[in-house]
Chain A
Amino acid sequence: NAGVTQTPKFQVLKTGQSMTLQCAQDMNHEYMSWYRQDPGMGLRLIHYSVGAGITDQGEVPNGYNVSRSTTEDFPLRLLSAAPSQTSVYFCASSLYNTGELFFGEGSRLTVL
């Protein structure tokens, strides 16, 4: 199993540009989520999904959109990037709502 795969690993955007961070898992997990991590801080939840077709907002959802059309994929879209969105983004999945979280290796985004 590859686990949780995130692409791209690095990205530089200009203010106002849009992009999509991809996340895929091959463990047949129902639960998937996106977090951001700013320097020296813990993770903050952006959006999460409890199954295909179901998404919900986390702690810091503004400026981000998600959709979940398949069990395997959970892309995160930035419609109009802002410098405040410069961060490292992590995707995670779990088999259960309270089970062990499996994380991807992260995507480092810089917005100029």
Chain B
Amino acid sequence: DAKTTQPNSMESNEEEPVHLPCNHSTISGTDYIHWYRQLPSQGPEYVIHGLTSNVNNRMASLAIAEDRKSSTLILHRATLRDAAVYYCIPGGDSNYQLIWGAGTKLIIKP
């Protein structure tokens, strides 16, 4: 299983971009990189996932390093509603092999 390293917490200002880093130096060649987030007192929700290329969706962008040992989740314009814990989870064969770490707590300042 790939080990991940994420900052415990980050702060950002409202309406500014946010870059959430994740190191996964032991990732295997077939592991996708999944990002979920968990708003206070709610269940996790899917944000984005990717394998090699950068990925975009309505919520965020995912930038994956060329060697795949790190990735960055980009929120283009943070709002107060984006305050959550963000989990970076490498995994491939099954959802049931995903290892959930403690994630990064993102604090958005008005």
Minimum Cβ distance to chain A for residue B35 (Å): 11
- Chain A neighbourhood of B32, CB < 8 A: 98
Docked complex: A35-73 residues within 8 A CB-CB of B = 35, 40-45, 48, 56, 58
Per-position contact with B for A6-49: 1 when CB-CB < 8 Å, else 0? 00000000000000000000000001010100001111110010
Minimum Cβ distance to chain A for residue B29 (Å): 16
Give the number of A-B contacts (CB < 8 Å). Answer: 51
A-side interface residues, number (CB < 8 Å): 26
- B43 contacts which of A40, A44, A92, A97 (Cβ < 8 Å)? A92
B-side interface residues, number (CB < 8 Å): 20
Contact (Cβ within 8 A) A101 B46: yes
Assess whether B50 is interfacial by the CB under 8 Å rule: no
Instruction: Given A94-B95, A98-B93, A101-B95, verify A42-B100 contact (CB < 8 Å).
Output: yes
Residues of A within 8 A of B (CB): 4, 31, 33, 35, 40-45, 48, 56, 58, 90, 92, 94, 97-106
Taking A94-B95, A98-B94 as known contacts, 7 extra A-B pairs with beta carbons closer than 8 A to each other, sorted by chain A number, are A40-B102, A43-B44, A48-B96, A56-B96, A97-B94, A101-B95, A103-B43
